[in-house]
Every structure is written in structure tokens, then in C-alpha cells.
Amino acid sequence: MAGGGGGGGEVTSPDATPSGPDPLVRPPWAQRKFAFVHPPWMVADFVERLCGVVPRLDLLLDGVDDAIAHRSFGGKWSIAQNVGHLSDVEELWHERLEDLRQGRATFTAALPARFQAAAARHQQRPLRATLDELAERRAKLVAEHDDHHLLRVRELRAEEFRRRDRDHCPR
């Protein structure tokens, strides 16, 4: 038993309760709780992860035609709507990056109403168009991140040239 004195015992999650949900079952999205405890310097890590989504989807969707992509099961979003949602949240990612840059304690909320109308749009067009839109929007996010690092490289390079000039041309 958990917390018991002797030998072996049951390992439990701190959130688990005897009558609570199975801790290994993914809860519905709206019931999840998130703790944004990552420091701003981890933005590069998040951007790197975001870069991998489109190539992963390309592999996952290989051989999926539009009829399959637009089929929904159990009243849930279709493949096309899930892919489209990833595209639709790009604006939110940009807002949250700005929240990080500004050091805000609270990030911009992901309000469900913001995305409900957009979900229907993805049922009306080819899956490839939705995936291409995601790739384009994601590239803008990555480009902004890359620009940050390119500017930093430029600053460091200029500083190195100034240092070199001072070392070689004493006054």
C-alpha cells in the first residue's frame, strides 16, 4: 500500500485518487490544466519543436485522401480540422512569444470560441491546402526566431571586429 511501512508497495501518482481517473488516460483537452513554468530563454526549444510538426504531419498523412481526411468520428474533429487547428493557433503562438518577450506572468488565453468557426473552414478545402497553410504560417514563426539569432550573430560579429581592431590598433 502507498505510504505503508513494510516492504513492497503500490506506486501512485500524487494526483491519483482511488475513485479518480486513470492517470495514464489522456483527458479531454478542455479538462487539462497547464503550468507554464518555462523560462523565456526556452523559446528556442519551443520553436525547434514547432519546426518539426509539418514534416511529421507529411509522414503521418501520406496516403490519406480528402474523403478520409474530412471524415469525423463520434462528433469529434476530422483529420483536416485537427491539422487546420494547428494552423489557426499560429496567431496565438505569436501572441505568446510576445508575452514571453515582455516577461508577462500570464500568457494570452486560448479561448475555444476563437477556434470553433475556423474548424468548419477546413472541411471545405483539400487537406493539402490546409497543410500548406500550416507550413507557411509556421515558417513565419520560425523566420522571426531565426531573425532574432541572425541579429545576435551580427552583434557578436561586430563586437569581435571592434575587439580585434582595439587589440591591433592601440591608441
Q: pLDDT by residue (tens digit) across 126-141?
A: 999 999 999 998 888 7
pTM here is 0.64
List alpha helices for the chain, DSSP H.
43-51, 53-60, 66-69, 79-88, 90-101, 112-121, 127-168
Q: What is the pLDDT of residue 111?
A: 85
d(CA 30, CA 133): 25
Give the tens place of pLDDT for each residue, 31-88: 877 676 878 778 778 777 878 889 999 999 999 999 999 999 898 999 999 999 999 8
- Cα(55)–Cα(63) distance, integer angstroms: 15
Average pLDDT over residues 12-37: 69
- Spatial separation of the C-alpha atoms in residues 99 and 97, rounded to whole Å: 5
Q: Are 47 and 141 in contact (CB under 8 A)?
A: yes
Q: Are 46 and 138 in contact (CB under 8 A)?
A: no
Give percent of the chain above pLDDT 90.
Answer: 28
In angstroms, the CA 20 to CA 75 distance is: 25
